[in-house]
Structure 1
Amino acid sequence: MDAVRQGGSSDPLAAASTLADVGRVLKRVPFARAALTGILLGLAILVARFSWTLPMTSFGERVAFDVRSLQAALYHPVAQDSRILLVPYTQGTQEATGKRSPLDRAILAKALVNLDKLDARAIGIDILIDQPQPEDPQLLAAFRALHTPTWLAYASAVHNGEDMQPWQQARLDALFGSLRGTAVHPASIHIDADGDNAMRSWPDVAPDLPPFLPLALAGTPEARPYQGSIRYRMPSDPERQVFLSLPIDLFADPATAAAMADQVRGRIVLIGGDLPDTDRFVTPEGRLAQSTSDFGRQFRENISGLEVHATMLAQWLDGRTPAPTGALGLWALALLVVLAGAFTAMLDVRGWILGLVLVGQLVFFVVTPFWLQSIGVDTRDLPAVGWVVAWFIAFLSTEAAVRALGSEQRKFASAALGKYLPRDIAAQILRDPEKLTLTGEKRPIFALFTDLEGFTRLSHRLPAEQVAPLLNDYLDGMCEIVLRHGGTIDKFVGDAIVALWGAPIAREDDGARTAAAMLDMVAFAREFSKEATDEDQPQLGRTRVGVHYGEAIVGNFGGRDRFQYTALGDVMNAAARLESANKALKTSGLISEQARALSANDRFRPMGRIILSGRKTPIEVWEPAANLPEDQRAHLAALWHRFDNGDLAALAELQALTVHYPDDAAFEFFVYRLAQSGPGGHFELREK
C-alpha cells in the first residue's frame, strides 16, 4: 500500500495549527450549515435550562428528582418527631359518628375542649367549615372557649377553583368574622400537586390569603413562605411512623383524652382527615417505592394532606430550606453541558482517551445532582435529564458540522485508502493516522500472492487498448474479494496481487477470512476467464494463488515524502514460492498447513508435502477444492494421512480414485508424488 506524505488528523479543526488556519477552515463552512448548527446549539441550551417545563422531558425530570429525593431520605432516616401530633378522622371515626361528609363537627368540638386542657403548643385544623351543619353551635362555642393558639383552615374561591364556590368562601368569611378576638385564626391550606398527583413542592401562597398553616403553627405567620421542594423523611424504626398519629375518637372522651396528656403536652397538634379516598397525595418516595417491597415497608403509596402539612411544618422547624440552584447557576450549567457536548464532538484523540472523557461527563451528569442535593442545594428545578438531552443535541449537531467541514478531505483520504484497505481498517487509520508512521513491528500475518499465468505473452499478442480494460476488470474483481474479506492490498506487480491479513489491524478470524478470499479468488478467476473470452480474444490463463502464515515485519518503509506499507520476512517469500509452486504441482492454489489449520475451513484437499525452491524444510500444502463434496474431501484427507503414517493400502485406494478424476492433473500428479516419495516423504521443487 503506497502513501505519499504521512497523514495528519482527520479533523480539519484539529489539523489547523494557528488561529489564521482555523479562520480559513471556518470560512469554508457553508452559511446554511453554520446557521443550522448555531440554532441547534441554542436549542440545546434552552433544553438544558428549561427541561422541567418541556412536555417531552418533564416526566423524566420528575422521575430523576424522585430518585434524588428517595436517596436523601434513605441516607438520613429520623426518629419519630416529638414536636408534632396528628389527630386524624379515620374510617373508624366515620363509622362511629355515622357521618361521611362533611366530617362530624360534634366530635371535633369535644376533642378541642379536651385538647385545650392538655397544654398543646398550638392546634391546626385542616378541615374547611364551609357548610352549615346541626353541630355548628356546639363547635362555635368550643372555638370561643379555646385558649390554645388555634389555626383553622381557610380557602379562597379565587385560588381553589372548582373546589371552592363563592358561597362557601362567604360562609368561611362570616365564621372568622364571628371568631374575631378569639384564639382561632384563619390559615391557608392551599397546596399544589404536580400533574401526576405527586406532592413535591411547597405551594405558592398568594399575598391575599391568610398565613400558610405550617408557618402559622411554627409561630412564624408573617414569614415569607418557602418556595422549594418538600423534604420527606424516612423513619429510622420501620415499626414507627415519622409522626405519632392518634385518632380523634380518643380525644372526644375526657377520660381517654386525659390519658393522652404526655403525647399532647408541648406538641403542635394537627387535626384533619386520614381517609383512603379523600385528600390524598403521592410522595416522590412513595411513587418509586410502589413496586419495591423493601422500600414499600418504609414508604406508603400515598399520604394524607394532613401529613403533607405536618411534613412541611417539621421541615420549617428544622430549618431545612435549601436554596435553589438559582437562575444564574442553571444558565451556567446549561452552557457548560452544551460546550461539553460540542467539545467532545470535536475531539480527535485515541479511543481510550475519548472513553475517559465520556465516562467523566457521564459521572458529572449522574453525580452532580446528588452532590448538589447533599450539600444543601434544592434540586427541584435542576434539569438533570435536560442536560443529557442537550448534550446529545450539541454533540450530534457539532459532529455533523465537523463531518461536513472535513467531508471532502475525508472523502479523498477514504477513497485512497479504500483502494487498498477494508472500510473498517481505513476508518481506523483515518481516526488514528499514527498507524501510518515510519516504523515497523513484528507480528503474525497471513500473506497471499496471486499471478495470472501466461498474461505477459497474452499482452504481447493483444493491442494495448484491449489489454488495459481486460486487466483492470480482472484486478477490480480480485481486489473486491480481498477487501470484502477484510484483507489489505499490499501491492500490484503487473497482473499479480500481494495481500495481507493481520496488518495493519488484526482480527481474531483473519485465518477464516484469508481462506475464504482464496477460495473466492480461484472461483472468480475461473469464471472471469470464461466470460472474458470471445472469438477474437484468447482465453486468459489460470490464476495461481499462494497463502502462508507466519511472522513478518510490517510497517511503512521508505522516505518521509514517499513510503510503502508492506510486510517483510520469510512468510512473504514462502507465500510467493507457494504461488509459483502451483505451476509444478498443476494446481490453481496452494495454502500451507500453518494457514489452513487457523482458517477452520475444510474446503481444501491435501497436496502432500513439498520443499519449496530455496528452502530446506518440507511444508504441507492443500489445494482449494470447493467444488468437491465434503465427504470426498474428507475421504481424500483420510487416505493421505493413512498413507503418510505407513498404510500402503491407502496409496492403492488413491490410485484407484484417479479413474474418477480423469481430467484432474493436479490430483493425478499428487498420487504420483506419493508413490515416488513414500510414507512421510516429500517432493522437492527445484529452480529451473
Structure 2
Amino acid sequence: MAKKLLYGFLVGLAAAAIAAGCRYAGWLAPPENMFWQWRVRAFAARTPPSERIQVILLDQNSLDWGRTENRWSWPWPREVYAPIFSFCARGGAKAVAFDWVFTEPSVYQVADDEALGAAFKSVPSSVAAMFLGRTSGDATAWPPDVPRNGPALRGLDDWLARGGAGEAVMPRASFPIPEVAAGAALLADVSGHADDDGIHRRTALFRVFDGAPVPSLGLAAYLAADPGADLRIEPGLLTVGPHRVPIDAAGRAILRYCGAGGRRPAFSAASIIQSELRLREGGTPTVDPAVFKDAYVFFGSSAEGLLDLRPTPASKVLPGVEIHATALDNLLSDRFLRDAPEGAALAATLLFGLLGGVLAALGRKARHSVLAFALCLPLPIAVGFAAYARGYWWPVAAGETAALLALIGAVVVNYATEGRQKAFIKSAFRHYLGPAVIDQIIADPARLRLGGEKRELTLFFSDIEKFSSFAEKLDPAALTSLLNEYLSDMTDIILEEGGYLDKYIGDAIVAYWNAPLSQPDHAIRACRAVLRCRRRLAEKREAYRRRAGVELKARIGIHTGEVTVGNMGSRDRFNYTVLGDAANLASRLEGANKAFGTYAMISEATWSRTEGKFAGRELGRLRVVGREAPVRVYEIMGFAGEALPAFVPDCERALALCAAGAWRDALAIFERHPEDPVCAVYAARCTAFASDPSRQWDGVWSLTEK
C-alpha cells in the first residue's frame, strides 16, 4: 500500500508539472477554449439579459424593407437614421449608442451629413463610433476639428507606466465625419477585442489614442448617461462610478454572456423607423416607445452583408453590437468575471494530478481504474463550473490534463508492476494452487503473505497403502505412469477445493488449506477433498487393477491446528511450507489408519469445524507416537444426509460401553459386524480387557508405531 501511494504521488506530481508547463507554453489553449465555451453556453442560457439595455438591429428584413418600400439602396441616406434617434428620445432613453462608423461623407450631399449630425445632437446622451487599431486607420493624432470630449480617467499615467498596459495604446484611428463627431456627446471605440483564435471572450473597456482615453461603446453609453461618474484605474481594477471591474494587465475584462446564444431581444431598424413615422402622422406604432424608458439603446447591424458578425463562446456568430451591450450589462450588474488567483489554479492542478495518480495507483482491478477515471476527470470541469457560478474564470485544461496524465501514468505503472507481480505469482504457485485461487491472489495481492506467520491451517497427509510392495512388482515406466496418474487425480481435486499443494514425498501427498489465502471454511474444504479423492480412487480402482495388477488404496490423515507457514529455506532456494506440531499430528493420523483398518481419519479439531456437513463416526481417543497429549479422532465416511452402513450406530453404542468398562457387552455388539475393520479391532481389545479384569484403561489407545 505504502509503495503504491508513493509511486502514485510521484506520478501525480510529474503529471501536474507537465500540465502546468503545457499551460504556460500555450499548448492547452484549444482544450481550454472548448471548456470555456461549455461554461459560457451553459450559464448564458440560464442568465436573462438586463431589460435596461435594448438593441436595434439593421437586419436583412430592414434592408429588404428599405429597398422594396422606399427604394433605398445601400448605403441608406443618413437622414433615415434620424427617426431612430427621435423614437429613442420620445421613449425617454438614457443613452443612444451607434455601432456604425461614418468615416466618409454621404453620397447624398452635405445636407445628409448635417441631418445625421443633428440627429445625434437631438439626444444629449448620444454616442458615435470611431475605430482604433494598430495598423488600420488614417489618423495618427487627434484631428483638430474633432472635439476631445472624452472622459477623464484618473490613474491612467501610472497605469500606463506598468509593463503590459502598453497593449491598450493604439497608434492609429478612424474618426467619424465632423458633423457626427460634433453632434455626439461621446466618441467610442468599436474595434472590440478578439483572442488569438478570433473569439471574443474579453472586452477592452477603453483604449488610449494620442494620450486620451477612448471608452468602448458599452462604457461610453454608461458615461454619456452619467457624465459625472468617477472613472479611475489601478492595477487589476477599473472603477466606474459605483461599479468595480476586474481587469487584466492590458485593461481587458472577461465577459459573462447572458441570454441563449449570448443574444438579447432586439428590434429591427425598420420597425422603429415605421413606428416613429406613424407617431408623427398620429397613427399607432408597431413598437411602443415606452419600452425604451430609461434604457440604454444600442444600434448596430446583423445582416450578413454588413460584415459585423463576430464569433463568441456563446454562439458561432453574434452581432458586434451585442458584444458591446453585453459589456454594459456586465458593468451595470457587476458580473464581469475575474481571473482565478494563479496560486490557487496551480495548487488545483497539483491536487488533481496527485488525486488521479494516487487513486489509479491504489486500484487493484480494471473496474477500480474505471472508477478512478470516472471520479477524477469530471472534477476539474466541475470546479470550473462552480467557480464560474461564483464569478471566477478558472482554468480547467491544466487540471484535466494533470488528472488524465496521472491516471494514465499510474495505470501504466500499475500494469507494469502488477504484470511482474502476476508473473511471479503464477510462476511461484501454478504447480501448488488451483487457477481459481491464483486468480484470487492476482486480483488482490495484498491477501498474499509469504513471510513467516502463525496461522491455523487444515493439513492433509495421504499415502498409498502397501506402495513399497507393489512398486517392486512394476517396471519403472509402469510405476511412474501409474503414480503420475494417481497423483494427478488427487492433486486436481485438492487444487479444485482451494488447497495448497505443499509437496510430494514419493507416493505421499502433503497439502493444506487457509494459506497463503485466508479460507474461513478450510476444514470443510479439506474434508470435501478427502471424500472426493477416495471416490475418485474407488472409481479407478478396477482400471488400476486391470492395468497394473494392483489394488490401489490410499490412507489420509487430516488435522486442524496452528502452525508456522511461510517461505523457508536458504537465501537462494526456499519453499512455501509449514512447520509445527499440528503438521506432525496430521501425518501421524494418516499412519494411525493402519491401527483401525480405516482410510480417512480426521481429528476432533477438524471434525468440530465441519458444521455438520459430513457423516462419519468416532474412533476414540488416540495417543500417537511422539505426542503425549491424546486426540479424539473420527472416520469421515460421506456427506451429511448420505446413508451409512448399519454397523455405524452399533459401533458408536459399543464404544460408549467400552468407555463405561462394559467390555463383554461391547464385545457382543462388535462381533455382530466382522466385516467392519474397526469393529474387528475393538472386538480384539474388548476380548483382552474382558479376560483380565485387573487391567485398567484410561480411555486412550496408545499407538506404538507411526
TM-score, with structure 1 as normaliser:
0.55
Q: Answer whether contact 1:482 1:488 (CA < 8 A) is retained.
A: yes
**Over residues 517-548 of structure 1, what are the superposed CA-to-partner deviations in whole Å (9 max), with x where a residue is unaligned?**
99899999999x999x99xxx79985869999
Equivalent residue, structure 2, for 1:126: 99
Q: Answer whether contact 2:454 2:565 (CA < 8 A) is retained.
A: yes
Q: Residues of 1 paired with 2:217 and 2:533: CA distance?
A: 84
Equivalent residue, structure 2, for 1:214: 218
Q: Residues of 2 paired with 1:248 and 1:496: CA distance?
A: 99
**Over residues 150-187 of structure 1, what are the superposed CA-to-partner deviations in whole Å (9 max), with x where a residue is unaligned?**
13263759479xxxxxxxxxx99374466443416242
Q: Answer whether contact 2:44 2:257 (CA < 8 A) is retained.
A: yes
Bigger shift: residues 329-338 or 81-90? 329-338
Q: Counterpart of 2:85 in structure 1: which amino acid?
A: L
Q: Counterpart of 1:213 in structure 2: which amino acid?
A: L
Q: Does residue 309 of the first structure (1) align with residue 324 of the second (2)?
A: yes
Structure 1 segment 596-607 matched on structure 2, within 5 A: none
Rate the CA distance shift 1:194–1:173 in 2: closer, same or farther, 3 A.
Answer: closer
Q: Residues of 2 paired with 1:208 and 1:525: CA distance?
A: 106
Q: 2:194 aligns with which of 192, 195, 201?
A: 192
Deviation of the 1:127 alpha carbon: 3.7
Q: 1:489 aligns with which of 474, 489, 501?
A: 501
Q: Residues of 1 paired with 2:355 and 2:398: CA distance?
A: 16
Equivalent residue, structure 2, for 1:173: 174
Q: Does residue 389 of the first structure (1) align with residue 404 of the second (2)?
A: yes
- Provide structure 2 residue ranges, at least 5 long, that are not aligned to the other structure: 138-171, 224-230, 239-246, 570-575, 600-606, 621-631, 647-671, 682-706
Q: Residues of 1 paired with 2:254 and 2:563: CA distance?
A: 63
Q: Does residue 96 of the first structure (1) align with residue 65 of the second (2)?
A: yes
Q: Counterpart of 1:312 in structure 2: which amino acid?
A: A
Q: Residues of 1 paired with 2:177 and 2:201: CA distance?
A: 31
Q: Residues of 1 paired with 2:221 and 2:537: CA distance?
A: 91
Q: Residues of 2 paired with 1:511 and 1:350: CA distance?
A: 29
**Over residues 10-35 of structure 1, what are the superposed CA-to-partner deviations in whole Å (9 max), with x where a residue is unaligned?**
94998xxxxxxxxxxx9xxxxxxxxx
Q: Answer whether contact 1:109 1:138 (CA < 8 A) is retained.
A: no
Q: Residues of 2 paired with 1:520 and 1:158: CA distance?
A: 94
Q: Residue 333 of structure 1: SS of its match in structure 2?
A: helix
Q: Counterpart of 1:267 in structure 2: which amino acid?
A: A
Q: Answer whether contact 1:127 1:272 (CA < 8 A) is retained.
A: yes
Q: Answer whether contact 2:49 2:259 (CA < 8 A) is retained.
A: no
Q: Does residue 232 of the first structure (1) align with residue 257 of the second (2)?
A: yes
Q: Answer whether contact 1:272 1:306 (CA < 8 A) is retained.
A: yes
Q: Answer whether contact 1:530 1:539 (CA < 8 A) is retained.
A: no
Q: Counterpart of 1:249 in structure 2: which amino acid?
A: A
Q: Residues of 2 paired with 1:281 and 1:520: CA distance?
A: 83
Deviation of the 1:367 alpha carbon: 4.7
Q: Residue 326 of structure 2: SS of its match in structure 1?
A: helix
Rate the CA distance shift 1:336–1:540 in 2: closer, same or farther, 3 A.
Answer: farther
Q: Residues of 2 paired with 1:435 and 1:363: CA distance?
A: 40
Q: Residue 320 of structure 1: SS of its match in structure 2?
A: coil
Equivalent residue, structure 2, for 1:112: 85
Q: Residues of 2 paired with 1:499 and 1:81: CA distance?
A: 79
Q: Counterpart of 1:215 in structure 2: which amino acid?
A: L
Bigger shift: residues 45-54 or 470-479? 470-479
Deviation of the 1:453 alpha carbon: 5.9
Q: Counterpart of 1:231 in structure 2: which amino acid?
A: R
Q: Answer whether contact 1:554 1:566 (CA < 8 A) is retained.
A: yes
Equivalent residue, structure 2, for 1:589: none
Structure 1 segment 476-515 matched on structure 2, within 5 A: 487-489=499-501, 494=506, 495-498=508-511, 500=513, 504-505=517-518
Deviation of the 1:231 alpha carbon: 1.4
Q: 2:296 aligns with which of 258, 268, 272?
A: 268
Q: Counterpart of 1:315 in structure 2: which amino acid?
A: N
Deviation of the 1:86 alpha carbon: 0.9
Equivalent residue, structure 1, for 2:18: 46
Bigger shift: residues 268-277 or 474-483? 474-483
Equivalent residue, structure 1, for 2:393: 378
Structure 1 segment 264-663 matched on structure 2, within 5 A: 264-275=292-303, 303-342=318-357, 365=380, 367-380=382-395, 383-396=398-411, 399=414, 415-416=427-428, 420-421=432-433, 422-427=437-442, 430-432=445-447, 438=453, 452=464, 455-457=467-469, 487-489=499-501, 494=506, 495-498=508-511, 500=513, 504-505=517-518, 564=578, 621=638
Equivalent residue, structure 2, for 1:4: none
Q: Answer whether contact 2:199 2:310 (CA < 8 A) is retained.
A: yes
Bigger shift: residues 433-442 or 516-525? 516-525
Bigger shift: residues 472-481 or 515-524? 515-524
Deviation of the 1:329 alpha carbon: 3.8
Q: Counterpart of 1:144 in structure 2: which amino acid?
A: G
Rate the CA distance shift 1:441–1:311 in 2: closer, same or farther, 3 A.
Answer: farther
**Over residues 470-524 of structure 1, what are the superposed CA-to-partner deviations in whole Å (9 max), with x where a residue is unaligned?**
978986896577657855436656532435489835699x999999999899999
Q: Answer whether contact 1:61 1:384 (CA < 8 A) is retained.
A: no
Equivalent residue, structure 2, for 1:149: 126
Q: Which has the higher contact order (CA 8 A, sep 6+)?
A: 1
Deviation of the 1:97 alpha carbon: 1.2
Q: Residues of 2 paired with 1:307 and 1:400: CA distance?
A: 53
Bigger shift: residues 329-338 or 202-211? 202-211
Rate the CA distance shift 1:142–1:199 in 2: closer, same or farther, 3 A.
Answer: same
Q: Residue 52 of structure 2: SS of its match in structure 1?
A: strand
Equivalent residue, structure 2, for 1:87: 56
- Provide structure 1 residue ranges, at least 5 long, that are not aligned to the other structure: 1-8, 15-25, 27-36, 161-170, 236-240, 287-300, 586-591, 599-607, 623-636, 645-675
Q: Looking at CA atoms only, which structure, 1 or 2, has the larger radius of gyration?
A: 2
Rate the CA distance shift 1:617–1:132 in 2: closer, same or farther, 3 A.
Answer: farther
TM-score, with structure 2 as normaliser:
0.54
